[in-house]
Structure 1
Amino acid sequence: MIELLILFELSKKVLTMYGVSKEIRNTFSVLTTPSYGTIKPALTRLETSGFVKTQKTMSKGGRPSVYYSITPSGIDELKRLLTAPPGENPIQFLTSARIKLACADVLDNIQQLALFSQLKKKAESILIDTKNLVSSKDLSYFPSMVFDNLICEYRNFISLLEGFEHAGRS
């Protein structure tokens, strides 16, 4: 997911590593807060893969600065990451899906609709699994409340996706 975040921020403008970190925090801090220790190796991987290029300059204070920019193949990789199937871990699904939705404006209309459909299908699957769990068990108060809340959260998320699908078809 860190590569997706970096490529998304670099698709908007050229940034230093500090700038990448700051922009990710400004945009996604309620969903994730990656550290420099996560960002630096990811930038190196992206550069090695040809998705990001660097330009070294001297700052006004005489310190070297490295600026990162996205390459055309980096744009393709960003779109691939956005449209890749969601992982199997239901704990990570909602956060990853929300990040993908927040970045969806880099996709064309057809790619957006495919993303919405894919996420909706996964959310519906998790919703069904949760409902089945609740109906098959005699749950005590706290687990019952937690799973009921999860059912509501997934229903709301599916409604959000349906709204996006409707807006995309208009």
Structure 2
Amino acid sequence: MTDHREVAIVRWHGRTPSVGDGLSALLAAYHLQTEAEKGAPVADADDLPDRYRAEVTDPGTALADDLVLVALREDDVVGCLVVTSADDGLSEIKRLWTDPEARGQGIASALMSAALRHAAESGVHTVRLSVWEWRTGAIALYERLGFAVTRSWDEREQLVCMQRTL
């Protein structure tokens, strides 16, 4: 097993095209997998709902107001995570995804740790996230990191809402 310390977690500001290409590929994989798990599979990223397709085709614009963290192994993007801008002491974590070939190596944990550090440094007092109930591995990770299930702010069925106070 590869130690996650071989992975660099960096803030992506949309200025590095090669990282942007890797990020787009990870976001496409994330959204395609999610749509399939929801029972609404699509053939490719062009068939995704507009808001998700925008993230894939131009993450620099779609995520311009958010912090985008990417995990790099050498020049390869192997993980990503988005932290929304703080709003009245609250931020949300979205789009945590690790390349399936790089899973089990601590990359998701490293991305989450970096996101929580950033939130604390930004004066955020509460971080929230939502996760599909069938993603039990992700839920277990979030619970290990101190997140607890909370009242839903999203009415989609099978969506688990969690938060952590910093």
- Which protein is richer in helix relative to its size? 1
User: TM-score, with normalisation over the residues of structure 1?
Assistant: 0.33
Scaled by the length of structure 2, the TM-score of the pair is 0.34
| Structure having the larger proportion of residues in strand | 2
Q: Which has the larger radius of gyration?
A: 1
